Amino acid sequence: MDRPGAVVGRAVAAFADRYLPGGAGSEMSWCVALSGGADSLALTAAAAHLRPTTALIVDHRLQPGSADIAARAAETARALGCVDVRILPVDVGTDGGPEAAARTARYAALDAARQGLPVLIGHTLDDQAETVLLGLGRGSGPRSIAGMVPHDPPWCRPLLGVRRAETLTACADAGLTPWADPHNDDPRYTRVRLRTEVLPLLEDVLGGGVAESLARTAITLQEDNAVLDAQATALLPVAMTDDGLDVGVLGTTAPAVRRRVLRLWLLNAGSAGLTDTALRAVDALIGDWHGQGGVAVAGTRARHRMMVERRDGALRLRHRPV
């Protein structure tokens, strides 16, 4: 049986061989997002062994001593052989709640610092299972239930098939001491309760293997979504008119594909934060048309609301001041 550290290293190498130019043995550089926790620490150790690695350490500055924690992570990254280490202090806003705001700030900092390189992120199979459960509970549709994809350039998630327990053991095996983020044990956060209460209960009731089953569900949905998205991408230009979408073309299209066409159209027009509920309301202007009024969708234009209306056999967009 492989030592746990070898499991992590093999997962990172396999990811590089499948998705990145030059594969695992390339001299091309990459970055790794390092928090100091077990997942990112095990990932950094494996990454630095395979390719020239820059460690990007985001300091969210949300708790006392965060600068010291970041400095210790930087010291460990250098000891592991990283060719460069950068600490990225950020200001976390409030939009979407603390978890979403921290994530937004973190990804913005990583994107600004990566200098065109891919960024490895230490999400594990357990994180994937939690993401699928969140999507199921919120009724967010197949895109949300499909969880995180392994390769979403520039973001790379080579550990989605590795359990969190394996990264902990890998760190112990390598003599590394991970930082334990107190937020990961705070029941005020939904993911913490999923991790510590819901998933253990499901494992007990269903006889184990739940996390793996949820992760497999994500892979299946990702494959299905890829096919449906390709069909929608091909259909969008066919359905486009000079100022909207042809209802006649889309009216005979399967709803799963039609909603994807509508999603692409709205995103291209500047929609943001598009929910499954809003998308289905727009879809009803075609699939359940009975003379209803327009549908408001969130957009990026300040002090304006995007409205989707059906007129003269087409869906049309207009911006309404608010």
Q: pLDDT tens across 225-280, in order?
A: 999 999 999 999 999 998 899 999 999 999 999 999 999 999 999 888 788 889 99
pLDDT of residue 298: 83
63 and 169 Cβ atoms separated by less than 8 Å: no
Q: What is d(CA 106, CA 58) in angstroms, rounded to the nearest whole number?
A: 6
Number of other CB atoms surrounding residue 33 within 10 Å? 25
pLDDT of residue 229: 97
- What is the 3-state secondary structure of 59-87? ECCCCCCHHHHHHHHHHHHHHCCCCEEEE
Q: Is the dihedral of CA 99, 116, 30, 25 positive or negative?
A: positive
4 has pLDDT over 90: no
49 and 81 Cβ atoms separated by less than 8 Å: yes
Q: Please give the residue that has the higher pLDDT: either 273 or 173.
A: 173
Domains annotated on the chain, with CATH:
4-206 (3.40.50.620), 240-321 (no CATH)
299 and 272 Cβ atoms separated by less than 8 Å: yes
pLDDT of residue 302: 66
3-state secondary structure of 298: coil
Mean pLDDT of the chain: 93
Amino acid code (one letter) for 320: R
pLDDT of residue 274: 85
Sheet arrangement for strand 119-120 = 84-89, 53-59, 30-33, 119-120, 155-156, 151-152
pLDDT of residue 155: 98
The string of pLDDT tens digits covering residues 279-300 is 999 999 999 999 999 999 987 7
Taking Cα atoms as reference points, which of 267, 264, 265, 259 lies closest to residue 285? 259
DSSP 207-233: TS-HHHHHHHHHHHHHHHHHHHHHHHH
157 and 167 Cβ atoms separated by less than 8 Å: no
Number of other CB atoms surrounding residue 115 within 10 Å? 10
Q: What is d(CA 20, CA 3) in angstroms, rounded to the nearest whole number?
A: 25
Sheet arrangement for strand 295-297 = 245-246, 314-321, 304-311, 295-297
pLDDT tier for residue 5 given thresholds of 50, 70 and 90 = low
Q: Return the H-helix or E-strand segment holding 117.
A: none
84 has pLDDT over 90: yes
* Burial class of 60 by CB neighbour count within 10 A (0 to 12, 13 to 18, 19+): buried
8 and 44 Cβ atoms separated by less than 8 Å: no
Q: Facing residues of 195 across strands?
A: none
pLDDT tier for residue 303 given thresholds of 50, 70 and 90 = low
3-state secondary structure of 90: coil
Q: Quick one: what percent of the chain has pLDDT higher than 90?
A: 80
158 and 125 Cβ atoms separated by less than 8 Å: no
The string of pLDDT tens digits covering residues 102-157 is 999 999 999 999 999 999 999 999 999 999 999 998 887 888 899 999 999 999 99
pLDDT of residue 207: 94
The DSSP output letter for 53 is E
Q: In the structure encoding, which two tokens stand for residue 94, read together? A: 């409030």
H helical segments located in the chain: 4-19, 38-50, 66-79, 98-113, 125-138, 142-145, 164-173, 190-193, 199-206, 210-239, 247-251, 255-268, 276-287
Least confident of 72-76, 136-140, 236-240, 318-322: 318-322
